[in-house]
Structure 1
Amino acid sequence: MKMCAISICFAFVFGVASHAPARETIRRGDVVVVPVHGEVAPSLLAFLRRAMKTAESNDASAIVFDMNTYGGRLDTATEVVSAFNQIKIPTYTFINTNAGSAGALIVIATQHIYMAPVSAIGAAAPILSTGEDLPATAKEKTISYWSALVRGSAIKNGHDPDLAEAFMNKDKEVKISERVVHRKGAVLTLNAQEATEKINGKPLLAEGVVDSIADLTKKAGLKGTIAKIEPTGFEQLAFWITALAPLLLLGGILGAYLEFKIPGVMWPGVISAICFALFFLGHYLAGLAGWEVVALFVLGMVLVLIEILFFAHSTIVFGVLGVFLIIASLLWTMIDRYPQQPFLPTGKMLAIPLLNMFIALVGALLVITLLARYLPRTSLYRRFALIDSNPPGPSLAGAPRHFATALALAPGMQGTAVTVLRPSGKARFADHVVDVVTEGEFIARETPVTVIQSDGMRVVVKSAAVV
C-alpha cells in the first residue's frame, strides 16, 4: 500500500513534468525568440532562465527578446540583468512598443537593440509598489547602486553608460562630444526615432527601426530558422516551489526519519516522497535542473537502504556513499548553472544552495532531537510501534486488540532480535516474540539483546554486546 502511494505520487509529478513544455525543440543555428511581456516578476525570471539555458544548450545562433513591458519588480530585474549578462551567444531586443522602468534596465543587458516604429524606452526611476516615491535616503542608495550596475551592464554590451544611467537618475546629464543629448532634471525616455538617431556616425542607442521579428532578423543579418519559446503556466508554480526549497527539504528529511523510526506507518514515507518530488519538480520547471539529479538522488537512497538492510554493523561504505550522493544531488539541483559555465560550481553559485541546505539540516536536527526525546512516550508511537494489529476478517471483527508485550519481561532478560530493529521491531524471549524498541540504535537480526526497561506496554532493549 505504501509503495503504491509513493508510486502514484511520483507518477503524478512525472506526469506534470512531461506535460510542461520545458524543453522545446531548438536546433543548432536557430534564432530563438523569447517574449518578455507583462510585469517583470519572479515567474518571468523563471521562464527567461529556462529559455536562455535551452537556447544555449542547443547551440542557437542568437536570442531575440520580444519586449513589451511597463516594468515591475526591481529585485527581479536585478536577477534578469545578471542572467542576461551570462549569455554567451548574441542577444537582441525588439522593443515591441514598451520597455519602461525595469524593462529599460533589462534591455541594456542585451547587445543589440531594435525598436518598433511607435515605441519607447526609459523612465526607470525606482518607486514604491504603491507608485509613490521612495524615501529620500532609500532613493539615494537605490539609485547609487543601480547606477553602478546599469553602467557596468551598458559597458559590457556596447552601450553608452551615461545614457543608461540617465534612464533612472534624473540628475544625470548626457553629453556626447559637444552635444547635450539630455539635460538633468528628469529621467530619460527615448522614442524609436530619438534612440536610432546617429551622432558621430553611431546610433544613440538602438541600431534600427523594424516592423517585426522577421524584419529584425533580416536587417541584423541573422540566417537561422526562427524558433519561439513560449512561457507556460508552470513558471509561477516553479517560483513558489524553489522559494520553499528549505521547507521541502525539511519535510523530506523528517518524513524519512519517521519512516525509519516507525516503519509500520505509511504517511511519513509518503510525505517524504511528496516533498522530495516537489523539490525536484519545481527546480526542473524553473530551468535549474534536469532529471539526472533525480537519478543521482535515487541511487543514493538505494545505497543507504542497502547499507541498512544488508550491511548494518559490518560496513559503512554504502551508507556514506549514498548520503554523499543524496546531498550532492540536492545541492546540484539548486545551483543556477548556465551551459557555458565551468562544470564545478563557484562559491557564488553554491551560496544559496548551501544556505537552503543549512536551514533544512539545522531545522531537521532540532525537530529530530525533540522527536527522539518525546515521540516514544506518545500514544501514537505506541500504537504503531508496539501494538499487534489483528488481521482483517469477519471472524475477528469484534476481537479486542492486545499488546504483544503481555509477557512479563524484566530488565536484564536476554533475547534475540527476530527482525532488524530500526529502532523498533520484534525480538524473541523464550518462546514468545514481542515488539521491542531500542533507544535509537539499529540492531541487526539474530543479534542478542537485553531488556533495559519494561512498563507493560513498552519494552526497551539494547544489544547484549553493549556494556
Structure 2
Amino acid sequence: MEMRALPFRIPGFGVALVMVVMLLFFQSLHAAESVPVERLVTGMVLRGPVNPGSARYFSRVLDEASLEGSGAVLVELDTPGGLVSSLRTMVKAVMASPVPVIVYVSPSGAEAASAGALLLLSAHVAAMSPGTETGAAHPVTPGIPGQGESAAGTKAVNDLAAFARSLALERGRNPEWAERAVRESLASSASEALQEGVIDIIADTPKELLRRTDGRQLKTAAGIQTLSTAGARLVMKPPSFSESVLMAVAHPDIAYILFLAGLLGLYFEFASPGAIFPGTAGAVALLLGLYSLQLLSASITGILLLMLAVLFLAMEVFVTSGGVLAVAGLVSLFAGSLMLFDFPSSGLTLSLQVFLPVFIAFSLAVVLILRLIVRSARGRKLSGGEGLVGETGEALEPLAPGVPGKVFVHGELWDAVSASAVEKGGGVRVEGMKGMQLQVNRQ
C-alpha cells in the first residue's frame, strides 16, 4: 500500500524544544544563585605591647584574609603601646589591605594606649567596648624631671603628632583629638571617644559589632566596599609558634633579664673554667637577649656600658684595686641599664619593678662569685702545689697515660696528667704539680 505524507507540518517543534532547554538551563542557574554563600570574617586577638612579633602576626592575618576572600578582619585589641616602628608597619598593612579592617578595643577594662590609639585611628571601622579607654599617645622620653624635653624628644613628639593627625583625616575622624593625644597624653573613655568623633561604634560583643557594621560603605585599597557582616561566621586566626616567641622576647623586661643572665653565666664560666653549664646557658641567654635588644632598637651606648661593667668586674679578680674596679663595674651596669632603650623612637621602657630586683640580684651574684674566687685564689696561693700532694680525687673523664684530662680534687676542677690509665669516675692521687697541671696516678 502506498504511504502518503501527513497533510500538515510542525514547523514550531524545534523552536519549542530549544525554548524548553533554555528554560531548564536558566532555572538551574537561578537555583545555583539562590544557594546561600557563607560569609566569613577573619578574627585575631592582639594583646600586649606592639612589637615586631605582633606586627608580623597582624600583617600575616591581613594577607591571609585577602587570599581567603574574607569580608572583613576583626582585630580585638588590648595594648599599652609599643614600638613606633612596628606600629607604622601595621598601619601600612591596614592602608594597603583590600579587606576592611575593624579594630575593636575589648574586653571591658582593656585599653588602646599610645601606639594602640594610632592603630585604632587607622582602622576602617574603629570600635570599643564599654569600660575601655584610648589615647595617651605621648612618646616616653628620657630626661630629668622639670628640665623639659630634649631636642630628640620634641622631634619624636612632632613626628608622631603629624602621623596621628594624618590618620584621623584619612579616616574622617577628629584630627584635633588625635594631635592632643600625642602632645598632651589626652585619653578618653569609650563614650567620650564616640562623642569626640574618634570611634564609630560602641558594642558589647563582637557579634553585636558585626551586626551594626553591616551595610557600611568603606574605602579600601581595592576601592569602595560594602560590609556584609551580619550573621557572618567569625574565623579566629591565632599567632604561630614563631610569632608567639617573637612577641614574648621582644619586650624590654625580658630582653634585660636575658641579657644580664647571659652575662652572669659567661662571667661565672670565665671566673671558674670548666663548669660548662653556666657558660653554655649564658651564651644562649646572651644571644637571645642581644636579639631582643636589636628588635627593640636598644641603645648601643647602653649595651657597651653593660659589657664594660662585666670587664671591670672580671679585672677585679686579677688586679688588686681595693674594690675600685668592682664599684666602677656596678656603676657602669646601673648607667647602662638606664640608657639601654632608645625611648624617643620606641615608646617602650624598662619597668622599675623589673630593673631594681634584677640589678640587685645581679650585683649580689657578682659579689658572691668574686668572694669565692678571691678566697679560692688566696687558699691556693697559701698552699701551693705542695699542699695538694697526697690529696685524692676523681677522674671526670677516662685518663690515658701522659694525656691531659680533667680531675676533681679538693673541691676544684683541675687539668691533670696521669702516669697510668684511669677510667672515668676512678680514684686518683696527686703526686705533684707542674705549672697549673696536676701530676696524678691511679689510687
Higher helix fraction (1 or 2):
2
TM-score, length-scaled by structure 2: 0.42
TM-score, length-scaled by structure 1: 0.41
